[in-house]
Structure 1
Amino acid sequence: MNKLVLTEEETMLADMARGFLDGAAPVSKFREMRDAGQTFDRALWKEMADMGWAGVLVPEDAGGSDMGFAAANVIAQEMGKTLAVSPFLSSAVIAATALRQVSDARASDALAKIASGEATYALAVDEGIKFDPEGTAMEAKADGNGFRLSGKKQFVVDGSLADRLLVLARTESGLTLFDIPADRAGIQRDASNMIDARDAARITFDDVEATGDDVLGSVDRAMDVLKPALQAGQAALAAEMSGLSAGAFAMTVDYLKERKQFGVEIGRFQALQHRAAHLWCEIEVTASAILNAGRMLDNDPENAELAVSLAKARATDTAKLSVIEGVQMHGGIGMTDAFDMGFYMKRARVGAEWLGDYSYHAEKIAAARGF
């Protein structure tokens, strides 16, 4: 049975990450980037790569640290507390997990480039208003020994600046995953103005050439490669949202201790104490669900879907509660752009939709339980 407490190594990793992010990527840094219209700090990502974060899921023989999914979630959770912006989820988690499913020299070389910070990836899956990989309509038409890709993708997080794209398309008898350079002829990337100031893009593929070497895994069997990558991404995103919840909660508690009404700190008011205690309990339970998801992905990946969907659903719900309570307990200041709570609310809203919203994962949970 998995113990839902951090190991000594994971605690050390969390402490190290916390110390680094507090200094190199505090919320004030995010505000500076937002105001400057900047969505990616390459120097910061290089520092993260040098610490082994970019290679957290990359095998050691490809230059990675191979610490596992639970460790990746620990890092993501700490990033969420300060809203650190990086391609960690898209590249170090999703792309690295997909590439690990393939045993060839090309995949090994790609993994090495991710670990070093040399290459960044984005996942191009979404086409409609909701996450639905199985409903992919983008066409990859056979053309000699290769394919021609035509269609559109939206909500491609990290998509406007990524070096490479993982593209899901429909082939003759199923779905196929392609790993192609983002600057290939026929690809047009239009940056999306995301409410949380994170890099994203709408991407148009106009008769884009893809060779057999660009296929990641097997033709018509994309989910063999993509499903583990999606689950890893969903768990890490849940961890980031859990960190976001904890960051918003800490900010709120500090305010409750400082703000006075009638000469008394408002944190002494029992009604607010009850609300804060309830939120703390929700954050702790969600953190346990996320730790369980990481343990399942590490130890029993074939049966991890329920744990992952539970973590993402709970993280979505908890983040929503945390930012709503944060705004309300801060009163009028909580609604202003000059105060950081709004950043947490916007990030929570985007995270709720990426890689499946609450309803998507609730349906997965219900199906797994036989309903």
Structure 2
Amino acid sequence: MDFDLTEEQRLLKDSVDRLLADAYGFDARKRIVASEGGVSPAVWAQFAELGLLGLPFSEEQGGFGGGPVETMLVMEAFGRALVVEPYLATVILGGGLIRHAGSAAQQAAILPAVAAGERRLAFAHAERQARYDLFDVATTARPDGEGWVLDGQKGLVLHGDGADTLIVSARTAGATRDLTGLGLFLVDASAPGVSRRGYPTQDGQRAAEVTLTGVRVGPDAVLGDPKGALPAIERVVDEAIAALCAEAVGAMEASLQSTVEYLKTRQQFGTPIGAFQVLQHRSAEMVVALEQARSMAMLAAMMATAPDARERRAAVSGAKAQIGRSARFIGQQSVQLHGGVGVTMEYQIGHYFKRLTMIDTLFGDADHHLGLTADAGGLINS
């Protein structure tokens, strides 16, 4: 199998790396995180100008028709730079749901605005009782004439406080944990009955708790089948997990590089601590963990669009399990090898560890996905 990048993919990688090197240093990131809203409109506009916000969308949808490999390259770069802008929430999750579940009219109305940086989306799905089960939804949508009325609560809505449009999952039929009876609805974030409480997360990102009280939407707000949205949700979450795996690889790579540089410069007993064999062995183990994670992230990227749901889930869950374990090991070792400075807010390495920890828990931690891989029969279909 050929893992070499095409000329277009190399140009994309170089362009993103150059943009982030110029505009997204650690000090600049700290200012963005501390700003109102926790994101930079100027950086978001640069992402749009470079075509990143329309990367996965077709040309008819205002994008460039990129695939999972292009997304992987972008997310790796975002991981190395610790980008906090809502790319995952708007482009991968929100845009993915519109692409896979929306009608042609909905795609034409929303995706070009997303690609231009003029509209931000957020996927309001997780609920307190659900843990990692995507089908566990208590929020309800009841018919009201030609439209629907939504009631319920959503938690940890990624960048939900800055979104213009919420894509809300709600139960139109059945019990809370039924696999059928789920619908997806487009909700204006400023609509009557919508309440949002935004807050910063541990890794410098943003999230919100969303309450829906008698929120009315029209028939044109329904994405796809109002009773059969679960397959689309699962597919988009698999694509998001593949993107997160790539981001984690970028963060782990930067953590390892920073740690090796520190070992070369920090001196003890008159010699760089990197000269001590036990620390060299530790660094070698970190390299092995990184390469294991990189291989699985590539597998996840290649399988993210697989039509067979079982094969896709097995590959993506297997990758998420390995990413979680590698991220924990590399993050912990990086902080430990940096010593006391590794846990200070002023030093970058601790922020990488925080982001890697959050990636591990998003959409299911390593143990959860190890179980899903086993339930799917393993990575190899016998």
TM-score of the aligned structures, taking structure 1 as reference length: 0.95
C-alpha separation between the residues in 1 aligned to 2:308 and 2:13?
A: 23
What secondary structure is seen at the aligned counterpart in 1 of 2:78?
helix
Q: Deviations over 1:83-124 (max 9, x none)?
A: 011111111111222111234212222111111111111111
| 1:149 maps to amino acid | L
In structure 2, C-alpha distance between the alignment counterparts of 1:315 and 1:12, rounded to whole Å: 27
Is 2:106 the counterpart of 1:106? yes
2:264 to 238, 257, 268: 257
Larger relative contact order (Cα-Cα within 8 Å, sequence gap ≥ 6): 1
- Deviation track 1:247-266 (CA, whole Å, cap 9, x = no partner) reads 11111111011101111111
Alignment of structure 1 residues 348-367 onto 2, 5 Å: 348-367=356-375
Give yes or no for contact 1:217–1:225 (8 Å, CA) kept in 2: no
3-state SS of the aligned residue for 1:16? helix
| Unaligned segments of structure 2, at least 5 residues | 175-180
Letter aligned with residue 159 of structure 1: G
Q: Which amino acid aligns with 2:149?
A: R
Q: Show the counterpart of 1:33.
A: 32
Tell me the equivalent position of 2:210.
Answer: 203
Q: Which amino acid aligns with 1:264?
A: T
From 339, 346, 351, the counterpart of 2:354: 346
Following superposition of structure 1 onto structure 2, how do residues 1-371 of structure 1 map, counting pairs within 5 Å?
2-36=1-35, 38-101=37-100, 102-128=102-128, 130-173=131-174, 174-298=181-305, 300=307, 302=309, 303-369=311-377
Deviation at 1:181, TM superposition (A): 1.4
Measured against aligned partners, the alpha-carbon deviations of 1:216-263 in whole angstroms (never above 9, x if no partner) come to 111111123222211111111111111111111111111011101111
Structure 2 SS opposite 1:54: helix
1:317–1:358 CA contact under 8 A, matched in 2 = yes
Moved more, 160-169 or 356-365: 356-365
Shift of the 246–168 alpha-carbon distance from structure 1 to 2, 3 Å rule, reads: same
The CA deviation at 1:5 is 5.0
1:189 counterpart SS class: strand
Q: Secondary structure at the match of 2:135?
A: helix
Classify 1:370/1:263 alpha carbon distance in 2 versus 1 (closer, same or farther; 3 Å). closer
In the alignment, the residues of structure 1 paired with residue 71 and residue 341 of structure 2 have an alpha-carbon distance, to the nearest angstrom, of: 34
Q: Partner amino acid for 1:305?
A: R
Return the alpha-carbon distance in structure 1 between the equivalents of residues 263 and 307 of structure 2.
42
Q: Distance in 2 between matches of 1:103 and 1:283?
A: 40
Structure 1 residue 338, shift from structure 2 partner: 1.8
Give, in angstroms, the shift of residue 13 of structure 1.
Answer: 2.3
Q: Percent identity?
A: 32
Distance 1:268 1:370 in 2: 41
Contact 1:5 1:291 in 2 (8 A): no
Distance 2:325 2:22 in 1: 29
Query: How many Å separate the matches in 1 of 2:50 and 2:35?
Result: 27
CA distance in 2, matches of 1:109, 1:29: 34
Superimposed CA distance per residue, residues 153-204 of structure 1 (whole angstroms, 9 cap, x where no aligned partner): 1111111001111111111241111122111110000012311121110010
- So what's the TM-score if we normalise by structure 2? 0.92
Alpha-carbon distance in structure 2 between the residues aligned to 1:266 and 1:36: 38
2:33 & 2:378 partners in 1: Cα distance?
A: 45
CA gap of 1:5–1:299, structure 2 versus 1, over 3 A, is farther
Counterpart secondary structure, 2:304:
helix
Cα distance change of structure 1 residues 211 and 240 upon mapping to structure 2, 3 Å threshold: same
> For the residues of structure 1 that align with 2:377 and 2:190, how far apart are their CA atoms?
44
Residue 91 of structure 2 aligns with an amino acid whose one-letter code is: A
8 Å contact kept, 2:91–2:114? yes
Is the contact made by 2:95 and 2:121 (CA closer than 8 Å) also made in structure 1? no
Runs of 5+ in structure 1 lacking a partner? none
Q: Contact 2:147 / 2:217 at 8 angstroms: preserved in 1?
A: yes
Aligned length: 370
Q: Which amino acid aligns with 1:358?
A: A
2:14 and 2:279 mapped to 1: Cα distance?
A: 30
Q: State the Cα deviation string for residues 60-101 of structure 1 (Å, max 9, x = none).
A: 112101111121111011101110111111111112221112
Letter in 2 for 1:34: V
* Cα distance, 1:37–1:103 mapped onto 2, change above 3 Å: closer
Q: Distance in 2 between matches of 1:42 and 1:59?
A: 24
